[in-house]
C-alpha cells in the first residue's frame, strides 16, 4: 500500500505531464483516439505524481506512453470467387511489466494503428486493475467479417495467424476476441496456430470454445462484469438495480450479456442499437429473440423489432440516449456518447452510466455526467470482466483444468467487487471521493509504475 499522499503542489507534476502529452502529439500524429486515451490518463495523474515523485523518475512516464513493440503486416487472402484481397494486420504489445501482453483482436474496417494503440494503452491499466498479472496489448485488422462466408473468414484468419504466430505465446502475448472476433474467428485462429506450431498450447489464445480449452462465463464476462460494477456503484449510494430502467447501446456480445445480467438483477432493459438505428421495447428486451437474431442469424436490430411485435419500435438513426432511463450502459464503440447526449441523459434523470465498450463516452460527456453527480464507471474498470475471465482461462489452461460456470462467475463477481473497491478507495485517498476515473487511472498506474521501477530501465 503506497503511503498516504501529501498535499499536491500540482504545478511541477502538471508541467511534466503536459510535456509528456505534447511529446505524444508530435511523435504520433494522426492518431486522435490514442491522444484521447493518453490525455485522459495523464490528466488524472497529477496528485499521484505530486505525492510520489519517484513515479515520474527514470523516464517512466515517457516509457509508459511508448509501446514496447508495434507489429504491422499484410494479410493476403482469397474470397469464394478466387479474387485476391489484401488487408493490414496489427499487434501492439504495449507493456509487459506485470505479465504477458493480454488484449483482444478487433476485425473492423475502421481499425488502424492509432485505434489499436488507444485500445492497447487502455488495456495496460485495465489489466492492472484485475490484479491478475497480465500486461497490456491489442491487435486486429481492417478486415470486415460481415457478409463474408465461413470459408472466407477461415481463409482470412489462417493468413492473419500465419504472421501473428511469430509474435505470440502463452508466456509472451495472449490475444483474445473483440469487435468482429468471436468464437468462430478464435477457432480458426487457434487451428492455424496449432497447425503451424505443432503444439497444443491452449493458453496462446483465450475466448476458445469450452470443449477445447475455453472457460465457462468467458462469453458473458464483459457484459456481466459491467453490470456488476454498476451494481457496486449503486450499492455505494444505497440503491440496487432491481426495478431500474436501463438503456443499452449496441447489440453485440457486450450488449447482449449486459442485458442478461441486468435482467437477472431485476432491471428492465428497454433498448438495443446497431449502425442502422435503435429499438425501444417498452416491455423489456426479449433476450431469446435478440440472441436468435444477432448470434445465430447475424441480423439487424430492425429484424428484432419487426418480429417482436407491438411493444417494440425501431428508430432509424437518432440517438439511443434520447430514451429516458435510470441507468445507461454504452456498449457499442468509442466516442458514441457525446456531451449533448450526456446532457439529455442528465435532464432525463439518469443515475449511473457505466462503459461496457472501450472509451464510449467523450471527455466532454464524462465532465457533464460528473458535474451532475451521476455515478460514472470508466471502461478500464467497468468492462475489465472480459479480460479477467480471459486470465482465469489462462490459469485453467496451465493446470489442464475446467471450471464450472458457477465457479467462474463467482470469481468474476469477486474480481469486479475488488476493482470497484480499489477505484473507490484510491479516489478517496487522493482527495477525489466518488471519482472512479481518477481512482481507476491512478490505481492502475501505480501498479504498473512500481513494477517498471523494480525491473530497471528496459
Alpha-carbon dihedral 447, 453, 457, 458, rounded to 10 degrees: -20
First-to-last C-alpha distance (Å) of the chain: 25
Number of alpha carbons in the 13 Å side-chain half-sphere of residue 44: 26
Q: How many CB atoms are closer than 10 A to CB 74?
A: 10
Q: Is 291 a catalytic residue?
A: no
Please pick, among 117, 138, 208, 351, the residue that the annotation labels catalytic.
138
> Does residue 207 come out as left (phi exceeding 0), alpha (psi in the -120 to 50 range) or beta?
left
CA 135 vs CA 39, 103, 112, 400, 440: distances in Å: 20, 8, 21, 22, 16
Give me the active site residues, please. 138
Amino acid at each position: 500500500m503506497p503511503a498516504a499522499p501529501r498535499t499536491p503542489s500540482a504545478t511541477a507534476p502538471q508541467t511534466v505531464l503536459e510535456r509528456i502529452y505534447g511529446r505524444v502529439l508530435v511523435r504520433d500524429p494522426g492518431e486522435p483516439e490514442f491522444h484521447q486515451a493518453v490525455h485522459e490518463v495523464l490528466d488524472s495523474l497529477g496528485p499521484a505524481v505530486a505525492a510520489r515523485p519517484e513515479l515520474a523518475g527514470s523516464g517512466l512516464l515517457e516509457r509508459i506512453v511508448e509501446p514496447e513493440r508495434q507489429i504491422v503486416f499484410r494479410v493476403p487472402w482469397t474470397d469464394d470467387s478466387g479474387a485476391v484481397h489484401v488487408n493490414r494486420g496489427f499487434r501492439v504489445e504495449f507493456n509487459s511489466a506485470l505479465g504477458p501482453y493480454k488484449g483482444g483482436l478487433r476485425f473492423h474496417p475502421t481499425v488502424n494503428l492509432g485505434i489499436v494503440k488507444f485500445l492497447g494503452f487502455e488495456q495496460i491499466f485495465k489489466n492492472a486493475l484485475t490484479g491478475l498479472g497480465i500486461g497490456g496489448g491489442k491487435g486486429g485488422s481492417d478486415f470486415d467479417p460481415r457478409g463474408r462466408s465461413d470459408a472466407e473468414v477461415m481463409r482470412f484468419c489462417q493468413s492473419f495467424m500465419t504472421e501473428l504466430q511469430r509474435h505470440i505465446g502463452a508466456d509472451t502475448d495472449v490475444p483474445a476476441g473483440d469487435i468482429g472476433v468471436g468464437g468462430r474467428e478464435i477457432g480458426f485462429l487457434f487451428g492455424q496456430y496449432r497447425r503451424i506450431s505443432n503444439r497444443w498450447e491452449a493458453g496462446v489464445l483465450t475466448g476458445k470454445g469450452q470443449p477445447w480449452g475455453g472457460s465457462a462465463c468467458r462469453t458473458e464476462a464483459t457484459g456481466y462484469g459491467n453490470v456488476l460494477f454498476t451494481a457496486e456503484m449503486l450499492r455505494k449510494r444505497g440503491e440496487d438495480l432491481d426495478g431500474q430502467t436501463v438503456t443499452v447501446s449496441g447489440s453485440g456480445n457486450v450488449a447482449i450479456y449486459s442485458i442478461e445480467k441486468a435482467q437477472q438483477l431485476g432491471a428492465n432493459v428497454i433498448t438495443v442499437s446497431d449502425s442502422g438505428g435503435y429499438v425501444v421495447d417498452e416491455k423489456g428486451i426479449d433476450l431469446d429473440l435478440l440472441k436468435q437474431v444477432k448470434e445465430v442469424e447475424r441480423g439487424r436490430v430492425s429484424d428484432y423489432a419487426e418480429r417482436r411485435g407491438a411493444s417494440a419500435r425501431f428508430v432509424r438513426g437518432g440517438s439511443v440516449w434520447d430514451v429516458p432511463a435510470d441507468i445507461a450502459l454504452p456498449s457499442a464503440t468509442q466516442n458514441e456518447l457525446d456531451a449533448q447526449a450526456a446532457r439529455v441523459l442528465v435532464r432525463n434523470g439518469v443515475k449511473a452510466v457505466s462503459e461496457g465498450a472501450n472509451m464510449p463516452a467523450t471527455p466532454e460527456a464524462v465532465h457533464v455526467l460528473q458535474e451532475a453527480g451521476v455515478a460514472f464507471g470508466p471502461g478500464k474498470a467497468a468492462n475489465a470482466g472480459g479480460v479477467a475471465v480471459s486470465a482465469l482461462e489462462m490459469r485453467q489452461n496451465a493446470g489442464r483444468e475446467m471450471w464450472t460456470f458457477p465457479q467462474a462467475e463467482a470469481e468474476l463477481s469477486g474480481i469486479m467487487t475488488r476493482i470497484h473497491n480499489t477505484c473507490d478507495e484510491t479516489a478517496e485517498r487522493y482527495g477525489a471521493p466518488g471519482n472512479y476515473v481518477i481512482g481507476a487511472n491512478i490505481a492502475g498506474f501505480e501498479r504498473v509504475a512500481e513494477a517498471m521501477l523494480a525491473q530497471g530501465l528496459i
